[in-house]
Structure 1
């Protein structure tokens, strides 16, 4: 760290719960974890409810996906700034601010049928993504040091609400109620937990006496925003179109200027020497390459299991063709005159609803992650965070290969997803532990914020590439009606090859992360709970 930053820092361990009872310690940890779970809960529920929302916002067409896309874009752009604010003004204060803004955003979304206002609400809700990264600092500053690695494992993996209960609750709400019920549920959930955070979670006493660097904040947030906009929209814009590349180029230029500026000012948003140090820099690079598989698995399995089986979809196409002929000619034709062949075809598809997907697939991987997170955190006190990362990426690479090579059945994919859950549990614990062990307490918030940016970018690249691969492998329906032929591309139905290619891509990125973890020197010592001296 620079001398200016060090001189301005107050590191006070007097707020640590060293003499508190185990009941109080784990009560505080549980409340923190439950408050952070609003981010994955909303993603699970809203992604599942897009089809119902599209009926309310019928004029936006494919832009309905922005109800989910905006989370990653606004969240990633805001996380570093909110993390820095938590270093300066207190982690609990900013933690609560994110929750309150999320609550307001949910009420706005539940109360409007105006698309623009709805997106404003989603943008406010996106700020909840910062809660998990701020929580790393709360756990580091409040828990006894010997319990910090376990606490970070619990934060990373969650208590199972988002992974286990949220898919079930989301499935019930989506399948049986209006989509607004999801947002009212999320608002009530946050409203109940907020007083518990206010009265039961103490404020950390670690502060850095600095001012926010406004130019650095604009450059970093703007660069992340433009880059993520390109990654999320490149498929529809055209990856190589000059107008699309301008967004990417603009984002990269802003990020480059950010680095140059931060090297030259006395109180930077983040110490550049720390950012590019082998410890923090290698962890961020590893996460950027390795996190994509954790984003692709639930996305791909959700699509594949909820797509109708080929036989059922063929009957639907026949029914639609008969109805179309009747509408255009006024004549009814026998179904037997309509012949439909899918070429290329697909082998997956169970026609699950959201609730069925949760019961058959989703909750089981969530349970494994929930159990392994704390175990991995405790294990890091003996072997360090690097071993956890190596184990995580090795298992995730095997799971990704298995998805690409295995003939589809939901039972087979469930077993592979459980293997992926093991890798995810270790990874979700390893990430915060390696960050906490790499940076001093006064740089915790902004460093965790940079982890959030790199995670979003890594996931965005993988999802963008996979989307392009899927769109290049559509399933076509060849329809013959009494000798008159036509070809229709089936919306949101892709060949097995498209999914396999996506999993091969993330196998490659995961192996890169594995190599980085193997050669990384940081994290080889047992985790100390953040007892870092710089």
Structure 2
């Protein structure tokens, strides 16, 4: 027993500087989020580049969302059981493999496989937050978690102009080689600067639960992401929706009976966790709504009556400002979380989202209008994404941190997938023919903004139902 204690003490004394640990985890979070916008600038050209139909090439984006949604809670559970650092490194290796597969592919099959593997790396963000909970003192935890949470928005926003620049000035395979390089750098840095886990939750991986969750989520997200294209009431769409719901209901029943469930649904049903996760769907919807609508509004020709005539790179720079704001305000988010608590911070964040879309609903005829709205969205998402993991960590036992944050990330993914499908469907259905292209009308964009306002209001209302002082087993790093 004494030897085991000595080994544990030696591991703790060899821990790297905490600042370096936070910086490395934030870097891998940025790399993970970048995978979502990596191919966005190429979407219009993918059918020609891959010699495939537009319906087939849309899977280059969809597959990443699907795999991310399924893999994130599973990787969180694996991290709680076998070590979060270990699983982060494994996910980065998967990212490298997927990027190399896509970079070496000239056909759509290889690119889709590679993009699917890239999506698995999304789990590094909730795992990074869980690592911070384990190793940081209370005074630094809020700010560090805010920074890590911000990477989910920052990586995608900043990555968009980088991807646009490469798409315009280099071979498209360079995007995937860049992703592979980032993954390799991240893996080396994690091995060097992230400490080994000292808090593990012994058990076994619920293989049947993981399979059930994967099948159920795939059916649900297929309906959300492909429904507009297939037809919302088409047999294929309804079959995916019904099958997904039925499988998830069976999965939930099984999880309540299982000895070592993939996710403890009793913990997930606590009011603080439940309301935060439902609000996370709305916040994911609000975040991705701007990523879908703003670039199109900025890039469409002025002659169409809807657009502002910017080129792809300039439009990406405007959209990237929200990510910069998220990163800059992360220290403020941490300070506010410590002084007023995460729930009021969440309320302010959701209110900012509503304000941003009301602003752009009224003023959206100049580039600076969208710039201002995007800056406010950055504040709203920055505060909200910082608050959500802190609310959850105050409400769950320490051995459920990785899985519970993974579940929260899953709900955000459902929101982003829904926004992608709904916004795309609205813009496609409310369009006019201008020459050879269908152009969304001004009314289509305004309807999209109304939908985002409704999502923001729902999230705002839900924040008032979150208990201020959730009762749970408290981790030493968290205040009571």
**1:352 equivalenced with 2:298 (yes/no):** no
Does structure 2 retain, via aligned residues, the 8 Å contact 1:15–1:204? Answer: no
Deviations 1:261-297 (A, max 9, x none): 1111222222221111112111111212232111111
Does structure 2 retain, via aligned residues, the 8 Å contact 1:18–1:144? Answer: no
Residue 305 to residue 530, structure 1, CA distance change in 2 (3 Å): farther
**Aligned partners of 1:284 and 1:427: how far apart in 2?**
12
Does structure 2 retain, via aligned residues, the 8 Å contact 1:283–1:435? Answer: yes
**Aligned partners of 1:89 and 1:127: how far apart in 2?**
17
2:201 is matched with: 208
**1:297 equivalenced with 2:290 (yes/no):** yes
Residue 43 to residue 271, structure 1, CA distance change in 2 (3 Å): closer
When normalised by structure 1's length, the TM-score is: 0.83
Residue 524 to residue 81, structure 1, CA distance change in 2 (3 Å): closer
Deviations 1:472-497 (A, max 9, x none): 211223xxxxxxxxxx6723x20011
**1:156 equivalenced with 2:149 (yes/no):** yes
**Aligned partners of 2:407 and 2:108: how far apart in 1?**
31
Deviations 1:319-362 (A, max 9, x none): xxxxxxxxxxxxxxxxxxxxxxxxxx533231412x22233x13
The ranges of structure 1 where at least 4 consecutive aligned residues each deviate by more than 4 angstroms after the TM superposition are: 12-21, 528-534
Structure 2 alignment gaps of length 5 or more:
1-6
Q: For the pair shown, which has the larger CA radius of gyration, 1 or 2?
A: 1
Equivalent residue of 1:239, what SS?
coil
Of 431, 437, 459, the match for 1:490: 437
Does structure 2 retain, via aligned residues, the 8 Å contact 1:388–1:427? Answer: yes
Does structure 1 retain, via aligned residues, the 8 Å contact 2:284–2:414? Answer: no
Residue 164 to residue 56, structure 1, CA distance change in 2 (3 Å): closer
Of 301, 316, 324, the match for 1:367: 324
What is the Cα deviation at residue 529 of structure 1?
A: 7.4
Deviations 1:386-441 (A, max 9, x none): 01110001010011122222242111111111111111111121122112112111
**Aligned partners of 1:260 and 1:222: how far apart in 2?**
15
Q: What is the alpha-carbon root mean square deviation over aligned residues?
A: 2.5
1:506 is matched with: 452
Does structure 2 retain, via aligned residues, the 8 Å contact 1:149–1:529? Answer: no
Deviations 1:23-52 (A, max 9, x none): x11111101110121122122231112234
2:4 is matched with: none
**1:469 equivalenced with 2:426 (yes/no):** yes
Q: More deviation in 126-135 or 42-51?
A: 42-51
Of 383, 388, 408, the match for 1:431: 388
**Aligned partners of 2:128 and 2:248: how far apart in 1?**
26
2:184 is matched with: 191
1:402-441 matches, within 5 Å, as 402-441=359-398
Does structure 2 retain, via aligned residues, the 8 Å contact 1:471–1:494? Answer: yes
Of 119, 122, 139, the match for 2:132: 139
Of 328, 331, 334, the match for 1:377: 334
**1:121 equivalenced with 2:114 (yes/no):** yes
Equivalent residue of 2:409, what SS?
helix
Residue 386 to residue 200, structure 1, CA distance change in 2 (3 Å): same
What is the Cα deviation at residue 214 of structure 1?
A: 1.6
What is the Cα deviation at residue 169 of structure 1?
A: 2.6
Residue 278 to residue 164, structure 1, CA distance change in 2 (3 Å): closer
Structure 1 alignment gaps of length 5 or more:
1-11, 311-344, 478-487
2:210 is matched with: 217
Equivalent residue of 2:383, what SS?
helix
1:448 is matched with: 405
1:171 is matched with: 164
What is the Cα deviation at residue 533 of structure 1?
A: 11
1:483 is matched with: none
What is the Cα deviation at residue 66 of structure 1?
A: 1.6
Deviations 1:84-118 (A, max 9, x none): 11111000111011100000110111111021121
What is the Cα deviation at residue 372 of structure 1?
A: 1.1
Residue 500 to residue 384, structure 1, CA distance change in 2 (3 Å): same
2:86 is matched with: 93
**1:267 equivalenced with 2:260 (yes/no):** yes
Residue 150 to residue 390, structure 1, CA distance change in 2 (3 Å): same
What is the Cα deviation at residue 181 of structure 1?
A: 0.7
Equivalent residue of 1:112, what SS?
coil
**Aligned partners of 1:500 and 1:300: how far apart in 2?**
10
What is the Cα deviation at residue 163 of structure 1?
A: 5.8
What is the Cα deviation at residue 381 of structure 1?
A: 1.0
What is the Cα deviation at residue 60 of structure 1?
A: 2.6
Does structure 1 retain, via aligned residues, the 8 Å contact 2:343–2:387? Answer: yes
Equivalent residue of 1:207, what SS?
coil
**Aligned partners of 1:436 and 1:14: how far apart in 2?**
25
1:101-116 matches, within 5 Å, as 101-116=94-109
Does structure 1 retain, via aligned residues, the 8 Å contact 2:300–2:306? Answer: no
Residue 90 to residue 57, structure 1, CA distance change in 2 (3 Å): same
